[in-house]
A and B are shown apart, each in its own frame.
Chain A
Amino acid sequence: MRPDRLGALLSAAGAAALFTLPFVVFKANRIVPGTPHALSDLLPAWAAFSCYALLLAVAVVALCVANPRLRLLAALAGVAVVALAVAAAGNALTPPDNKVVRVAPGAAWWILMVCLGLLGTDAITRLRPGPGRRVLLLAVALGVALLALAHGTFDHLSIMREYAVNATRFAHEGARHVALAAGSLGAALVAGLPLGILCYRVPRLRAAVLGMLNLIQTIPGIALFGMLMAPLGALAAAVPLAAQLGIRGIGAAPAVVALFLYSLLPIVANTVAGLRRVPRVTVDAAQGMGMTSAEVLTRIELPLALPVILTGVRIALVQNIGLVTVAALIGGGGLGTFVFQGIGQTAIDLVLLGAIPIVVLAFSAAVVLDALVEVMQRAPA
């Protein structure tokens, strides 16, 4: 039989990384350059050997086994082994009660994780699970990861060291990140749905509004934040009530306004597209049977447009979760705070403490909303 092409590529990349690049990097403290270590230097011979053997088995499955269930299982086993190995390396390199040394995953570790992740997602794609299963799979994966983190498995790794120092702030900024992304999306829904319906009903308005929103979408995030600072600052100075409500040139106000503006395009455009997709003849029948235009809208047009509108919500939410990161620069808060603080201190672990949860949040939002869109489409057109 022919070896699997993707499996061959991933196995080769993983093996090359494992044997040529450092598995972990050891630093005497947070700032100094580190020394690289291979997996075999760190673990007892039997443990290192077991790791290599298991990864070899995963590579064999990736190369020769076509069954996607087995491939997924192999990928998950590989992820578990590589994760546990780096945890063990952290424990081995950290002297007792020492909170100054930093053990960070090295290039080999990241490349292995990426290869195993690709192997896993490829297997999931081949399995074609239904929307419910995909969400369940995500929930189980997140659950296992959180359990391991709560259990302290990775406490000696550098990122968790940064977390331990920043735990309270992390919870606060994480919640703020979600609140900013979801809040601005909610506001965009409240304004965007009626605006989309209006644009659908009034074609002349459609071109103007969508053109305007398209223009806003092309403004880079940081530039839009900057552009909003002046008018919001002026508003706060002129209207004391606005200032009392927390509207200022910097902080959450310009962030929410900018995210709201960015979210409008996907929501308005998809509302219009969804409504246009409703067959003319269906609307004609609904009117002909005596529905008022409000009844046609709520009972026929909106339900039929819902999957497309939800796709717009998905785009807006995932985009917002990413954009909130930049809001940290103007004092908006969110997980971006850690990213920019880490860049300022050249502390890459602090950057990752902000960046990894953002990626996980965006990915989870995409999976859940995609599943929702698919469920809605089951009521077929």
Chain B
Amino acid sequence: MITIENLTKRYGATTVVDSVSMQIPRNSLTVIVGTSGSGKSTLLRMVNRLVEPSSGRVLLDGSDTRAQPAHLLRRRIGYAIQGHGLFPHRTVAENIATVPRLLGWDAARIAARVTELLEAFALDPASFAGQFPHQLSGGQQQRVGVARALAAGPQLLLMDEPFGALDPIIRAKAQDDLLDIRRRFGTTIVLVTHDMDEAFRLGDHVAVMSGGRMLQYGPPAQLLTRPADPMVSRMTGLADRAMRLLSLSTAGEAALPGTVDGPQVPASATLRDVLSELMWRGVDAACVTDADGTARGHLTVAAILARGRP
């Protein structure tokens, strides 16, 4: 859906983004991860032309993003940023209505959309619509920021460190919410972060950037098992790479046929969580069950450990 071709950004003699090419499939959640100064934010901002590329191009569904004026392009693309960037002089409802208003929707349609989004983000419209951003908690502000970005139903949502300002517990909740939202609205998401844990937790594709260059781009497991560059293994972490790998598969995916006597674990649990549970209980095998309680198969410690190897 998004094709990035040899995208480069130079400021004077400094090259911030160096000839990056990548294909981002529709409905994927792609995380661009890198240290500060790696060019990851600049790369993201070139997609909606907040930064104009020095060379190279971006295609959205095959058409060049430069084919229309930048502000019209941006109205089609959701944009959520660290510290949410809510407009302090506008209510929650007015903030969410920003892009629909720019697009000239009629009032009834805007009101219905605002209500729908507030409900989707577990914010009671009756009490939150009329509040100002400073009256909300950090987590609520962040949710309004994402709701605002999704207001006009964009196919693509760009997020720049969206959870950077949140404390760990609220951040974990916000990450879960994002996965829900993605399932619900089917939006293609490109998210920039410096947090490798966040990248592994959210991304079905992860791109690692350093010094303006894209070191590797692929499914998260590939980054661990076949790192393209020593820098990638250093950033993903060598010490706990086995545990990271286990956290990328669920019990349901790894289940062996047949059932055993032992504790029940849900199919949605990660192998890392199952292993931890087995260690804690001092047993060798667990029964994997679906959400409705029917047995799907079983897992043994040996089978789990085998999956923690490249």
B296 touches A (CB below 8 Å): no
The residue in chain A whose Cβ has the minimal distance to the Cβ of B134 is A380
A61 touches B (CB below 8 Å): no
B contact face: mostly helix, strand, loop, or mixed: mixed
Q: Is the CB of A288 within 8 A of B48?
A: yes
With A and B bound together, what is the CA distance between A284 and B89 in angstroms?
Answer: 16
Give which listed residue, A282, A290, A304, contacts B102 with CB less than 8 A.
A290
For B82, the chain A residues whose CB sits under 8 A away are: 281
With A and B bound together, what is the CA distance between A285 and B148 in angstroms?
Answer: 10
For A282, the chain B residues whose CB sits under 8 A away are: 85-88
What distance in Å separates the Cβ of A281 from its nearest Cβ neighbour in chain B? 4
B158-184 to A contact mask, C-beta < 8 Å, 1/0:
100000000000000000000000000
With A and B bound together, what is the CA distance between A287 and B87 in angstroms?
Answer: 12
What distance in Å separates the Cβ of B93 from its nearest Cβ neighbour in chain A? 15
B50-83 to A contact mask, C-beta < 8 Å, 1/0:
1000000000000000000001111110010111
With A and B bound together, what is the CA distance between A282 and B81 in angstroms?
Answer: 10
Number of A-B contacts (CB under 8 A): 67
Q: Is the CB of B102 within 8 A of A381?
A: no
For B88, the chain A residues whose CB sits under 8 A away are: 279, 282, 304, 379-381
A289 touches B (CB below 8 Å): yes
B128 touches A (CB below 8 Å): no
B250 touches A (CB below 8 Å): no
With A and B bound together, what is the CA distance between A281 and B50 in angstroms?
Answer: 13
With A and B bound together, what is the CA distance between A287 and B48 in angstroms?
Answer: 10
For A303, the chain B residues whose CB sits under 8 A away are: 89
Q: Is the CB of B81 within 8 A of A380?
A: no
Q: Is the CB of A290 within 8 A of B71?
A: yes
B99 touches A (CB below 8 Å): yes
How many residues from B make CB contacts under 8 Å with A?
27
Interface residues in A77-124 (C-beta closer than 8 Å to B): none
For B121, the chain A residues whose CB sits under 8 A away are: none
With A and B bound together, what is the CA distance between A290 and B71 in angstroms?
Answer: 4
Bin the interface of chain A by size.
Answer: 10 to 19
A136 touches B (CB below 8 Å): no
Identify which of A279, A287, A288 gathers the most chain B CB atoms within 10 Å of its CB. A288
B115 touches A (CB below 8 Å): no
Q: Is the CB of A281 within 8 A of B102?
A: no
Contacts A285-B79, A285-B85, A303-B89 given: A291-B71 contact, CB under 8 Å? yes
With A and B bound together, what is the CA distance between A351 and B208 in angstroms?
Answer: 79
Q: Is the CB of B89 within 8 A of A304?
A: yes
With A and B bound together, what is the CA distance between A286 and B148 in angstroms?
Answer: 11
Q: Is the CB of B87 within 8 A of A380?
A: no
What distance in Å separates the Cβ of B152 from its nearest Cβ neighbour in chain A? 9
Give which listed residue, B86, B87, B99, B132, contacts A290 with CB less than 8 A.
B99
A295 touches B (CB below 8 Å): yes
A292 touches B (CB below 8 Å): yes
With A and B bound together, what is the CA distance between A330 and B48 in angstroms?
Answer: 60
Please give 10 more A-B residue pairs, beta carbons under 8 A apart, in addition to A289-B75, A289-B99, A290-B76.
A279-B88, A285-B79, A286-B85, A288-B85, A289-B98, A289-B102, A290-B72, A291-B71, A381-B88, A381-B134
Closest 10 CB pairs of A and B: A285-B85, A290-B75, A288-B79, A290-B74, A281-B85, A379-B89, A290-B71, A292-B71, A281-B83, A289-B99
What are 30 A-B contacts defined by CB distance under 8 Å? A279-B88, A281-B82, A281-B85, A282-B88, A284-B81, A285-B79, A285-B81, A285-B84, A285-B85, A285-B86, A285-B87, A285-B145, A286-B85, A287-B74, A288-B74, A288-B79, A288-B85, A289-B79, A289-B99, A289-B148, A290-B71, A290-B72, A290-B74, A290-B75, A291-B71, A291-B102, A303-B89, A379-B89, A379-B132, A380-B132
Report which B residues bind A (CB closer than 8 A): 48, 50, 71-76, 79, 81-89, 98-99, 102, 132, 134, 145, 148-149, 158
Report which A residues bind B (CB closer than 8 A): 279, 281-282, 284-292, 295, 300, 303-304, 379-381
